[in-house]
Amino acid sequence: MTPLPVLDLSPMIEQIQHARESVGRLTMLEFQHGNVGNDRFSAAQAEQKIAANPLTNKA
């Protein structure tokens, strides 16, 4: 049985990480502008949601 070739997934992983970061930035922009899914949020509510989101919480 011939061994399977080793796939280098680094470029794909980098693309996925970049996409997740982009989504996080867009989400933060939407929260900052108070418009997320047609719901209106106060700045405090938006900050709570950003802090609760694992994509945007860098702590």
Give the phi and the psi of residue 58 in degrees, each rounded to 5.
Answer: -95, 10
Between CA 30 and CA 36 the distance in angstroms is: 6
Is 21 a residue whose pLDDT tops 70? yes
Is residue 38 scored above 60 in pLDDT?
A: no
Number of H helices, E strands in the chain: 2, 2
Return the pLDDT at 31: 67
Q: How many CA atoms lie within 13 A of 15 on its CB side?
A: 4
Terminal CA-to-CA distance of the chain, rounded, Å? 48
**DSSP one-letter code for 56:** T
Taking only the tens place, the pLDDT of each residue in 2-12 is 888 888 888 88
